[in-house]
Chains A and B, each alone.
Chain A
Amino acid sequence: QKEVEQNSGPLSVPEGAIASLNCTYSDRGSQSFFWYRQYSGKSPELIMFIYSNGDKEDGRFTAQLNKASQYVSLLIRDSQPSDSATYLCAVNEAQGGSEKLVFGKGTKLTVNP
């Protein structure tokens, strides 16, 4: 199985700052990249996906993809205490005629008021 690596953190930022979450992956054939947010005691929820090199913005969230460097990141602008959660990076991997997602172990983010 290919690997998806994330800094486990914890990452601590003050309210209003930019939080930067990073992820590297080993499968050069991967084409789809996802960020999930998981609050403590809850299940993961999809917040961003990106398929092409470059940036994709959605509100305060920006996903960045660099396939040459096999690197994907998530920026959270104007961080709020409600953004405190674990962020999971996921990458698609082919398996036979289908595909699956491989998840990183997550980065725990704390936004301090």
Chain B
Amino acid sequence: DVKVTQSSRYLVKRTGEKVFLECVQDMDHENMFWYRQDPGLGLRLIYFSYDVKMKEKGDIPEGYSVSREKKERFSLILESASTNQTSMYLCASSLDPGVAGEQYFGPGTRLTVT
């Protein structure tokens, strides 16, 4: 089974802090994705990556950056956390290069920014 893990289930940070969310997948998937999920707004894509050291903006990249130094790891960085970044953050991965395909999700990180 595909396993996607995220570094924290719950995280509380203060406004202005730099926040790192880590995601690791163990099935040699080529593609990795970061989403946030908010009530009434659904799942929105922040960034995605189809290769090591490659990144592409999703639909709401403002205020975020990403890093993919190794194939299995994709990090989401909040450069200066703000209260409007309080959300559930979900990481996903899929197998085939360049194809969004069948995505498998991690358990999520619920981030609260105070």
Chain A residues within an 8 Å CB radius of B56: 95-96, 98
A105-B107 contact in complex given A49-B102, A98-B50, C-beta closer than 8 Å: no
Q: Mark A80-103, 1 if CB is under 8 A from B, else 0.
A: 000000001010110111111111
Chain A facing B: main interface SS: strand
In Å, the complex CA distance between A88 and B41 comes to: 12
A43-B98 contact in complex given A96-B56, A100-B58, A104-B42, C-beta closer than 8 Å: no
Query: When the two chains form their complex, are residues A101 and B100 in contact, meaning their CB atoms are under 8 A apart?
Result: yes
- Cβ-based interface call for A32 (8 A): yes
Query: When the two chains form their complex, are residues A101 and B103 in contact, meaning their CB atoms are under 8 A apart?
Result: yes
- Cβ-based interface call for B76 (8 A): no
Q: B44 → chain A, closest Cβ, in Å? A: 8
In Å, the complex CA distance between A43 and B23 comes to: 14
Query: Interface centre among A92, A98, A99, by most B CB within 10 Å?
Result: A98
In Å, the complex CA distance between A56 and B95 comes to: 22
- Cβ-based interface call for A25 (8 A): no
Query: When the two chains form their complex, are residues B105 and A45 in contact, meaning their CB atoms are under 8 A apart?
Result: yes
In Å, the complex CA distance between A45 and B102 comes to: 10
Query: When the two chains form their complex, are residues B42 and A100 in contact, meaning their CB atoms are under 8 A apart?
Result: no
B interface, CB within 8 angstroms of A:
33, 40-43, 45, 48, 50, 56, 58-59, 90, 98-108
The 8 closest A-B pairs by CB, nearest first: A105-B42, A43-B105, A103-B43, A101-B100, A99-B100, A98-B98, A92-B100, A43-B108
4 A-B pairs besides A93-B100, A98-B56, A100-B100 with CB distance below 8 A are A32-B99, A46-B103, A88-B42, A100-B48
Q: 21 A-B pairs, CB-CB below 8 angstroms? A: A1-B59, A32-B99, A32-B101, A34-B102, A42-B107, A43-B107, A44-B105, A88-B43, A90-B103, A93-B100, A97-B98, A98-B48, A98-B98, A98-B100, A100-B45, A100-B48, A101-B100, A101-B103, A103-B43, A105-B40, A105-B42
